[in-house]
Each structure stands twice: as C-alpha cells, then as structure tokens.
Amino acid sequence: MKQHSSSCVQNQAPILKIIKPLLLEKHTVLEVGSGTGQHAIYFAEKMPHLSWQASDQVQYLSSVNAWINEAKLSNTPPAINLDVTQAWPALEFDVIFSANTTHIMSWEMVVDFFQGVGKSLSENGLFILYGPFNYNAQYTSQSNANFDQWLKDRDRQSAIRDFEKLNTLAQRAGLTLMNDYAMPANNRILVWQKKSNF
C-alpha cells in the first residue's frame, strides 16, 4: 500500500535542483532506502534518461512498488530487496543515491553501507547522500540537536552522523569527496566519486 511522506514532498524539488546537473551524463541509479517510494517516482520522472532502481528492506517494498506500479514510468523497474548489511545486487551502477538513511541505520550498518557503495559503483560513479550531518562533532542547528535526541529516544542505535567519520568511510571505500551542498532545513547533500585508479 502506498505510504506518504510530507518531507519527501518538501525536499524533492530542492534535491532535484542539485542532482540534476550531476546526473546528465549518467545512466543507472541505485537508490538505497527508498522509504515510501515517492523520491524514486519524482526523480525518475524528472530525469527520464536515467534507469532508477529503487530498493529497501523487504517491509518497505510494498509501498515503493505501489508508487512504481501506479506511475507506470518506463525507467523504474520493480524495487528490489536491499538491506545494506546483506548481499548487494551483483550489478554496478553509475550513481548510488540515498536520502535520510545514515541517521536511521546503526553505525555498523553505515559501515556496511559505505563498503557496499564502494563495490557497487562503476568507475567515476557518484555516491549522493542527502540528510542532516554534524561537523566537528557539533550540531549545525538546535533543530538538528532536538532531532538527534528524538532519534535516540526512539532507537539508541540511531544518530545524526559526523561528516568527518562518513568521509573516512568513503575514503576507505575508494571514494573522493566532490561537493557538500547546503540544503533547506539544515540538511546537506554530500557527493563522492569513485576514484578511477582505486
């Protein structure tokens, strides 16, 4: 059944504005943690040259596929079951996109996530990660501090992640930071590229 997220509606246009120019020459996208499925449909419709492969843990797939089936786009294959701690698809993608996932995952999951990204990206592929992040172990706003407390009250394994720690994981996975974009509501878009000589 289709689930709905109002935050997706709010953030999808600002995200598109940043990622569209980055994806002009790309062909295949894997989205990790598609959630409701709204982002997949929105971005695939706005960038029809891309094949947008949505994915999530199995319990989320019915909503993602409900959005996909209703939209009937030619560039959104059925969503696949991908838990970042398990086996990843035996395919390479030009881009891996993920929104609002690293603060939900435990740190161990985040480590597996970045390892999987490093293996699943093609040469020069991009890893695009949207969400709130801390810098120098500091919150960037009081609202992010409040959000972090809310996350931890809900699940002690969840937390807003430190940019520097994510960047270390990215470097270990063969990724180089290309850009860090400020976004509305104290969010960021981090973009890494897989080094061609890794």
Ligand X SMILES: C[S@@+](CC[C@H](N)C(=O)[O-])C[C@H]1O[C@@H](n2cnc3c(N)ncnc32)[C@H](O)[C@@H]1O
| Closest to ligand X by CB, 16 or 136 | 16
CB atoms within 10 A of CB 108: 10
Please tell me whether residue 54 binds ligand X under the rule CB under 6 A: no
Using alpha carbons, select from 127, 28, 118, 132 the residue that is nearest to residue 80: 28
Least gap, CB of 66 to ligand X (angstroms): 14
Burial class (CB in 10 A: 0-12, 13-18, 19+), 30: buried
Whether residue 37 contacts residue 65, with contact meaning beta carbons closer than 8 Å, is answered with yes
| Closest to ligand X by CB, 71 or 195 | 71
| Closest to ligand X by CB, 117 or 170 | 117
Per-residue binding string, ligand X, 111-130, x by CB under 6 A, is --------------------
- Interface pick for ligand X out of 3, 28, 81, 85 (rule CB under 6 A): 85
Please give the C-alpha separations between residue 6 and each of 12, 36, 115, in angstroms, as whole numbers. 10, 10, 31
Whether residue 130 contacts residue 192, with contact meaning beta carbons closer than 8 Å, is answered with no
Please tell me whether residue 144 binds ligand X under the rule CB under 6 A: no
Give me the residues that bind ligand X (CB under 6 A), please.
5, 8, 32-35, 39, 56-57, 60, 82-85, 99-101, 104-105, 109
